[in-house]
Amino acid sequence: MKNKLLSDLKKTLVAEKIATPLPTAKAKLAPIQQADANLTDEQLLAKAMHGVTPLQLEATAPTHLSKKLDDNTLLRRAAAEGAKDMAQEAISDTVALLNPVASEAILSFRKIGIQQGLFKKLKDGHLPWRAAVDLHGCTVEQARQAVLQIIADAQQEGVTVIKIVHGKGYSQGSQGSLLKTCVNGWLQQHRAVLAFHSALAKDGGNGAVLVLLKKQQQNLETKR
């Protein structure tokens, strides 16, 4: 009889435990909800994201594409950067104007180390020019930018001989040609210019100059 009473008592206690909800669940929930009502949207978002670990995304570019960029695109990009440097070449108008030239003067210049034979070929028109610019109607500033641009473009394209038409500037009177004077001074200062000489009559004579440029260095091995 005693055992039966104990068994019935256990069954009753278990039934009451199942039927009765936990008293602490509601008591803890209410304060949290009340506290959240006072939080801003940013604080609620920060609270919701607490403990969340960001996903680590891996690069999706295939290896062969990266290799292609190294060998081709990066080389062209380097050449473009070189052209940008040329566009900012430090050439001085003041230095150029310190050595005025007459309208009919022959422009002639070569850097130390340039072979006389190569210079003579340029002078005699045996090195054909592949790009040209005409400065007629330009201001000094416009002419400077045009000269820098054609040198940069020529180097990027692998062109080593260009022609610059500066005119003779008869309108300048006894002061000679302003643009011709500037071109003469600019070219002597430019690091990419190896030599220049006034053109033959068929190419503009004393109103134009043929310019020999340094080859743009594009060593693929240094990019690997």
Do 18 and 124 share a domain, yes or no? Answer: no
pLDDT tens digits for 28-68? 444 445 555 666 656 665 665 565 554 443 333 333 333 33
Q: What are phi and psi of 209, to 5 degrees?
A: -135, 140
Q: Is 149 contained in some domain?
A: yes
User: Residue written as tokens 């690091």?
Assistant: 191
Q: Is 50 contained in some domain?
A: no
Do 181 and 86 share a domain, yes or no? Answer: yes
What is the domain count for the chain? 2
Q: Is 165 contained in some domain?
A: yes
Surface-to-core class of residue 171, CB atoms within 10 Å of its CB (0-12 exposed, 13-18 middle, 19+ buried):
exposed
Do 101 and 206 share a domain, yes or no? Answer: yes
Do 121 and 29 share a domain, yes or no? Answer: no
pLDDT tens digits for 65-116? 333 344 445 445 444 454 445 445 678 888 888 999 999 999 999 999 999 9
Q: Is the pLDDT of residue 4 over 90?
A: no
Q: Is 191 contained in some domain?
A: yes
Do 40 and 70 share a domain, yes or no? Answer: no
Q: Is 54 contained in some domain?
A: no
Structure tokens at 14: 């278990």
Instruction: Check which CATH number belongs to the domain holding 132 and give it.
Output: 3.30.1370.110
Surface-to-core class of residue 11, CB atoms within 10 Å of its CB (0-12 exposed, 13-18 middle, 19+ buried):
exposed
Do 93 and 27 share a domain, yes or no? Answer: no
pTM score: 0.59
Q: Is 157 contained in some domain?
A: yes
Do 109 and 37 share a domain, yes or no? Answer: no
The answer to whether the beta carbons of residues 92 and 189 sit under 8 Å apart is yes
Residue 208 pLDDT: 97
pLDDT band of residue 175 (cuts 50, 70, 90) is very low
Do 38 and 79 share a domain, yes or no? Answer: no
Q: Is 136 contained in some domain?
A: yes
Do 70 and 116 share a domain, yes or no? Answer: yes
Do 82 and 35 share a domain, yes or no? Answer: no
Do 28 and 134 share a domain, yes or no? Answer: no
Do 32 and 72 share a domain, yes or no? Answer: no
Q: Is 55 contained in some domain?
A: no
Residue 106: which domain range?
66-221
Q: Is the pLDDT of residue 6 over 80?
A: no
Sheet arrangement for strand 108-110:
108-110, 193-198, 208-213, 161-165, 131-134
Residue 89 pLDDT: 65
Residue 69 pLDDT: 40
The answer to whether the beta carbons of residues 192 and 211 sit under 8 Å apart is no
